[in-house]
Amino acid sequence: MLHSLIRDFLKLRLCTTLQVREKGHLSRPHLRNPSWFLRKERKMRDNLVTAENKSFVQEIVHDVYGQSSVIKGSHNQICQTQLVKTGDSETQPWTPYTRRTGVIARKIGQYPLWLKNGEKIRTTLLQVVENHAIKYTPPEEYKPAHRPKVAELNKYGCLLVGAESCDPSILTKEYCNLFKNSGVMPKRHLVRFLISPSAAISPGTPLNANHFRVGDYVDVRGKTVDHGFQGVVKRHGFKGMPASHGVTKTHRRPGNIGGGGEKGRVWPGTKLPGHMGNRWRKAKGLRIWRINNKYNVLWVQGSAIPGSTNGLVYIYDSILPLRRHKTAPPFPTVLNDPEECEDVWFEEVHNFKSETITFKSEEQN
């Protein structure tokens, strides 16, 4: 009798099982910044600042960073006493396995182009907005908190790139100290790129659209449009149930998911309703058809680049084996900005600005 009671007691589950999450939670965007992240903007009320104080603050900003000027179609402020000289840096030779830095661009719209054979292609316009190199961390000092999925991470350094200059009076002192050694105004957006040590760039070096060439293939990374919680018709493209013939309240439902029998559960990967969008996605192997050097605009192949209009995307050299660089690109970047033509077209694209039909006056008899 005692043995049977002990046996029944051991069969009882006195401890609760822990909930095990799948790997899907790793790709979800973080809603809060980590504890070590610096706070960018400080609390400030404009109604407590008089007009004279505002003008005084602007004078201080102009004394430190220089007057505002227009460079390649975008407003920017250049430091009068540049801390870093980019022209004296020694460049190393390029190799096919060298990894260059990328740029931060803004998706501004779509535009069609036509090839010389009459074929129509869709392109997306990406504008490189005031990019500057902020800080470079060598491989031996780069220790990320979250290890990225990159093979042989110890061979690459980290380059911090900033985009879109903003007013430093609305930022915290800790955030402004990140740009102390770069000689540029504080940036609104910061991105880290893994690069080879030979492709390191000095802080304060500008990055423009001529960092790439027409005909090159690039990869574009962006966050998809956030649609919220959606059903299977919009999220996965289901056809839905019939509109009539006895169908009641199941017109846009998924239907049977086949979870009965011996399985008795929902199989992983089943297409069901859920949150749609707001995920980081990459579009790989996109060709650059046209470059406008005046406004820093790239015409990139395709109309399915992730992100909404006026959203930020990251552009870097393609990692596809068959679409890598065959010849040496501007390495590590275009340090001396030459006077190039305003528009650069790929040789297969038809330029409507060029003359295609010429007329000759007939000789009067």
Residue 280 has pLDDT above 60, yes or no: yes
pLDDT class of 16 with cuts at 50, 70, 90: very low
User: What local confidence, expressed as pLDDT, does residue 338 receive?
Assistant: 58
Would 123 be classed as within a structural domain?
yes
Would 54 be classed as within a structural domain?
no
Would 187 be classed as within a structural domain?
yes
Would 159 be classed as within a structural domain?
yes
User: What local confidence, expressed as pLDDT, does residue 166 receive?
Assistant: 86
Would 283 be classed as within a structural domain?
yes
Residue 72 has pLDDT above 60, yes or no: no
Would 308 be classed as within a structural domain?
yes
- Average pLDDT value over all residues in the chain: 83
Q: Which domain holds residue 129?
A: 97-225+277-321
What is each CA distance from 129 to 206, 297, 302, 313, in whole angstroms? 10, 9, 21, 11
pLDDT class of 357 with cuts at 50, 70, 90: low
Residue 62 has pLDDT above 50, yes or no: yes
202-229: average pLDDT = 94
Would 350 be classed as within a structural domain?
no
Instruction: Determine which of 72-86, 240-254, 314-328 has the lowest per-residue pLDDT on average.
Output: 72-86
Question: Residues with Cβ < 8 Å from 115, sequence gap 6 or more?
Answer: 121, 348, 349, 350
Taking the whole predicted model, whether its pTM rises above 0.85 is answered as: no
User: Which phi and psi (to 5°) does residue 3 adopt?
Assistant: -65, -40
- pLDDT tens-digit series, residues 78-122: 444 444 444 455 678 889 889 999 999 999 999 999 999 999 999
Would 19 be classed as within a structural domain?
no
Q: What is the CATH number of the domain that holds 283?
A: 2.40.30.10
Q: How many domains does the chain have?
A: 1
Q: Computed over its alpha carbons, how large is the radius of gyration of the chain?
A: 28
The DSSP output letter for 326 is: S
What is each CA distance from 213 to 195, 210, 316, 317, in whole angstroms? 19, 6, 12, 11
pLDDT class of 33 with cuts at 50, 70, 90: low
User: What local confidence, expressed as pLDDT, does residue 93 receive?
Assistant: 87
Instruction: Determine which of 46-60, 176-190, 213-227, 254-268 has the lowest per-residue pLDDT on average.
Output: 46-60
Alpha-carbon distance of 116 to 352, in angstroms, equals: 10
